[in-house]
Amino acid sequence: MRAKLPINPKRRARPSLTNWLGQYLAPATSAHVQVRLRGNILHVLCETPHPLVQVSALTRLVAVLLDPTEGEAVTQAYPQVYQLYIYSRQKGSKQPDWAAPIYLNRLERHQAQLQLKTHDSAEIEAVQGLLRTAANHTPVSPAWTKNSTTAALVLSQLSLARRGDPTAISWYLSEVLSALDVGVWVSIRAVSGPVGPAQNTKAQSASLSHDVATPAPEQSRLWVFCEAAYSPDPMLIAEPVTERLRQLELSQFKDAVIVVQVQGESTPDWSLRIDLTPPAEMLAEWGRWGDEQAIVRLLAQELAPQSAQVTVERKDSTLHLVVTSLSAGPIPDETTITAAISTTLERLAPQGLQRAMVYGQPEAALTPTWVKCLNLPALEHENLATAPSALAQQRDWPALQFLLTRLLNPDLEVQLATGGLRVQLIERADLLHVMVDGPVCPRRQYVVPTVVKQVKAIAPNRIEGIRIYGRRAGQARLELRHRFPDPRSPGS
C-alpha cells in the first residue's frame, strides 16, 4: 500500500513569512518573530519592546488570515498546518505575557469572539462548564478551558470532529501527535461491508422478531495519515490515537486505518487498523451473550434517571440484581425500576439467562423492601437457553470467540477505550486457528496460556489441536505463532 501525504516536511518558511506575521501582530514596532513547526501546529513567538495587547493583535491577524489574497501566506509555507499558537513576550523576558491558539478552519468564529468587547462572567462559566462535559466527557487539554475566548471554539471543534469532519478530527488528533512532532492528515473513503459488530451467532441469528434481512449498507473508512522525521514507536502512537478516535464515537465509520510514514520515504513505515464500533454497541453485543459486566453497565444507564444503581450476580441461569438508591433517599418505585430493567433485558435477550430476580433494597438494610421475578426470552426460546460455554463445546465458533475475547480483555474500561484484543477463529482439518490482534501486538506470555487453557477446558468436539497467531491490527506480518500440542514436546 502506498500513501501520498500532502505534507512537505523539508519546506521552510519563506524569508518574508516572519516579517509578514510581525507586520500584523505588532505593526509599527521593531517586533522579532520566530516560528517553529511541531506536527500540525505552527508555534509563533512575537517579541516586542512593549507589552502587546492580545485582542488587538489577534484581531489583526485573524482579519488578514480571512483575506482571500493575503490569508494563504501561512498555508503556502506549511500546507499541513491546522493551527497557529501565538506567544507574545517583551524582549528580555523569559516567559510569554500571553499565549493563544488560532484554528485555521474556524477563523470566522475567532473573529466573532474577538469582536466581543466585554464578556459576561456567567456566560463564560456556562461555556466552560459545557466544554468540560462536552462529547460525553471527551478529554480535552486543560489549557483549552482557561481562556474564555477559545472555549466556545474548542467546543465547536469537538462537535465537528464527532460529526466526522476530517479537518476537525485532524485538529483533535494533533493535540497528541504534535507533541511527538508528528504531522497528521485525515481522509475518508467508502468501503463495503457489514456495519457494527458481527452478528453471526447461531443463537442470535434466530431473531425473536420477524424482520426481513436487508443488505448491509456501505460505510466509510477513516484514514489517518501521519508523517514524521523519524520512525515513531507504534506504542507511542497506537494507544493514544486509538483512544482519542474511539472517544469521539464515530459510528458513521466502519473502522479507521492509521498510516505512518517517514519523511522522504515513498512507502509507509507501518499501519494500524482501529475498530470504531461505539462502546454502546459493544456492550449490547456482549450483553446478548449474557455478560454480567456489560449488562450491569447497560442497566446503570437506564436506571440513572431514577437515581438508582444496580449490582449483579449470576447463579446458573438466573441473574440476581440488587437495586439501591444513588442518594440516601428511599428505594425508587418498584414499577418504574422493574419496567426499565425488563425492557432492557427483553431487548438484549441474553444467552443462557432464563430469569432475573430484582431486589429493591435500602443501602444499609439487610433485607430487600421488595422482590420481583422477571422471565427472560431464553425461558421460552430454546435456542437462547444454552449457555455460551455449552454452545462453544458444540463447535459454535462465535460463542467461543466471545468467551476468548472477554477472557483476553478482563478490564472492561480498557476494552471500551481502545477496542482491546480482537479474536478471530477458523477451523481447518480438525485444527482450530485463533488469530488475536489489537492496537499493540499481543504478548505471547499472556495470550498463549490463556487461549490454550480456555479451549482445553471447553474441549470443542472433534478439535485435535490449536494454532495461535498474534499481530498488531492491520499488519500482515505475524508477530506470534504457537502450536498446541507441540510435536516437539510430547507432554504438551
| One domain for residues 81 and 65 | yes
**For 187-191, 241-245, 356-360, which range has the lowest pLDDT when averaged over its residues?**
187-191
Contacting residues for 236 by C-beta, under 8 A, at least 6 apart: 180
Which residue, of 221, 250, 277, is where some domain finishes?
277
Q: Are 424 and 302 contained in the same domain?
A: no
pLDDT at 409 over 90: yes
Residues 141 and 214 in one domain: no
User: What's the CA gap between 221 and 79, in Å, rounded?
Assistant: 24
pTM here is 0.68
The domain that holds 302 is classified in CATH as 3.30.70
Identify the helix (H) or strand (E) that includes residue 43. Answer: strand 41-48
* 411 and 311 part of one domain: no
Based on the fold, state whether residues 189 and 289 are members of the same structural domain. no
3-class secondary-structure state, position 482: strand
pLDDT (average), residues 156-176: 83
Q: State pLDDT tens for residues 105-117.
A: 778 777 777 765 3
The structural domain count of the chain equals 4
Domain boundary among 354, 385, 416: 385
Do 210 and 227 lie in one domain? The reply is: yes
Residue 144 has pLDDT above 80, yes or no: no
* 377 domain-assigned: yes
* 48 plus 148 within the same structural domain: yes
Same domain, 110 and 214: no
Distance of alpha carbon 466 from alpha carbon 484, whole angstroms:
5
* H helix or E strand, kind and range, residue 237: helix 234-247
Q: Give the pLDDT confidence score for residue 267 in this predicted structure.
A: 82
| Candidate ranges 192-196, 316-320, 363-367; pick with highest mean pLDDT | 316-320
Q: Is the pLDDT of residue 456 over 60?
A: yes
* Per-residue model confidence (pLDDT) at position 9: 42
CATH number at residue 272: 3.30.300
Strands (E), 234-363: 253-262, 270-275, 308-315, 318-325, 355-360
Asked if the structure places residue 224 within a domain, the reply is yes
149 close to 113: Cβ distance less than 8 angstroms = yes
Considering the domain architecture, whether residues 255 and 298 belong to the same structural domain is answered as no
How confident is the model at residue 141, as a pLDDT?
52
Inform me whether the pLDDT recorded for 5 exceeds 50.
no
Task: Please say whether the beta carbons of 434 and 467 come within 8 A.
Answer: yes
Judge whether 232 lies within some domain.
yes
Mean pLDDT of the chain: 80
Tell me if 5 is assigned to some domain: no
- Within a domain: residue 310? yes
Quickly state the pLDDT bin for 47 (edges 50, 70, 90). very high
Q: Which domain, by its residues, includes 413?
A: 388-484
pLDDT at 250: 87
Mark whether 265 and 301 lie in a shared domain.
no
**Cis peptide bond N-terminal to 485, omega within 30:** yes
- What confidence tens digit (pLDDT) does each residue in 9-19 have? 444 444 478 88
436 lies in some domain: yes
Number of other CB atoms surrounding residue 395 within 10 Å:
14
Residue in the block written with cell 523576558:
93
Backbone angles phi, psi at 261, to 5 degrees: -135, 140
How many other CB atoms are there within 10 angstroms of residue 457's CB atom?
11
